[in-house]
Amino acid sequence: MTLVLGIESSCDETAAALVDGDGGIVAQRIASQDEAHAPYGGVVPEIAARAHAERLAPMIETVLADANIALNDCDAIAATAGPGLIGGVMVGLVTAKALAMASDVPLIAINHLEGHALSPRLADRSLQFPYALLLVSGGHCQILRVDGVGQYRRLATTIDDALGEAFDKTAKILGLGFPGGPAVERLAKDGDANAVLLPRPMLKSHEPHFSFAGLKSAVLRAWESGEHGVADITASFQQAAIDCLLDRLRVSLTRMDDLPTLVVAGGVAANASVRTALEAFASERGMAFTAPPPALCTDNAAMIAWAGIERLTSPDFAPAPLDLAARPRWPLDPDAEAVRGAGVKA
């Protein structure tokens, strides 16, 4: 059976995984760098790259040993080649190139966003194209139409912060540590989502794009007013974020109303309240709903290996050349029009 080694190093998770052609995760390891970045309240690129450089090679060795597999038993080596923090991406990609060269196994360069976009098909092998995808992570917040491997049309993106970034900034304001998403979710459980009046940026706008900078600023004002506790602020923030997601999806789906399934992926998709709200939203519209298990939502190498399998089994497959450059920016939909203010997050 097809077997692909996946390597992920685009942000602050160092990860390696072996996945088979049926979507079986044969072995996987993941090391988070939370402790290294926590004192700074966010990911420090230089620290991340150094940590990947120290951890990745022994981790790959361990994953192969866990599965009792030699490198040249693999049909391909799939590595994230962008987008992301360039130092980390280079560590993963150069490691993959060296392994590919030494073992004569083909190299596949994976777009990290494609890893997220196809992860629901790894988790649910019955999920067919096409589907509507909400991709919500620390670096991206997009709504896409997914028609097949490599066939992505972006309908919406953020004009400022990504949603995961808004969770992280909210956590930072409230002194909840890093990464912020899981802490915000935990505290929100004890709060009243209606306690703090927060804005829903872009609400009812005919353009489908997102904006979260104003929400984050409102969280800061609410906290500094001293009138609200942490639980109420996190619950109100989370509800405002969910309202934005549903409103923006409503607009996007009018532009792709033929799709049977709504899919969510990316780190924020690990949030149970977000998942529940999306599931109810999909059901109201008569759409099926799929979300990968939380461990496949946040960064991992199984989704990169899986994207490698999807690529390897595509009719137009060609291995990546060994001089392929890492890409700090790499849009899933290169034809998507530029959005005012979207800058580096497009």
Residues found near ligand KG4 in the complex (CB under 6 A): 11, 137-139, 164-165, 167-168, 179-182, 185, 266-268, 270-271, 298-299
Question: Quick one: which segment of 93-101, 129-137, 151-159, 271-279 binds Zn ion (CB under 5 A)?
Answer: 129-137
**DSSP conformation letters of 254-288:** HTSTT--EEEEESGGGG-HHHHHHHHHHHHHTT-E
To ligand KG4, the closest distance from the beta carbon of 55 in angstroms equals: 17
To ligand KG4, the closest distance from the beta carbon of 298 in angstroms equals: 4
Task: Centre a 10 Å sphere on the Cβ of residue 266 and count the other Cβ atoms it contains.
Answer: 28
What are the φ and ψ backbone dihedral angles of 163, each rounded to 5 degrees? -65, -40
The smaller minimum CB distance to Zn ion, of residues 106 and 179, is found at 179
In sequence order, the β-bridge partners of residue 135 are 142, 265
To Zn ion, the closest distance from the beta carbon of 30 in angstroms equals: 12
To ligand KG4, the closest distance from the beta carbon of 295 in angstroms equals: 10
Task: Give the C-alpha separation, 39 to 323, whole Å.
Answer: 37
Q: Tell whether omega for the bond before 130 is within 30 degrees of 0, i.e. cis.
A: yes
Q: Which does 181 bind (CB under 5 to 8 A by kind): ligand KG4, Zn ion, none?
A: ligand KG4
Q: Does 9 bind Zn ion (CB under 5 A)?
A: no
Structure tokens at 124: 């649910």
Q: Which of 170, 164, 245, 157 is nearest to 203 (CA)?
A: 245
The smaller minimum CB distance to Zn ion, of residues 165 and 299, is found at 299
User: 126: which residues sit within 8 A by CB, 6+ positions away?
Assistant: none
To ligand KG4, the closest distance from the beta carbon of 100 in angstroms equals: 24
Q: Does 299 bind Zn ion (CB under 5 A)?
A: yes
The smaller minimum CB distance to ligand KG4, of residues 102 and 272, is found at 272
Binding interface with Zn ion (CB under 5 A): 137, 299
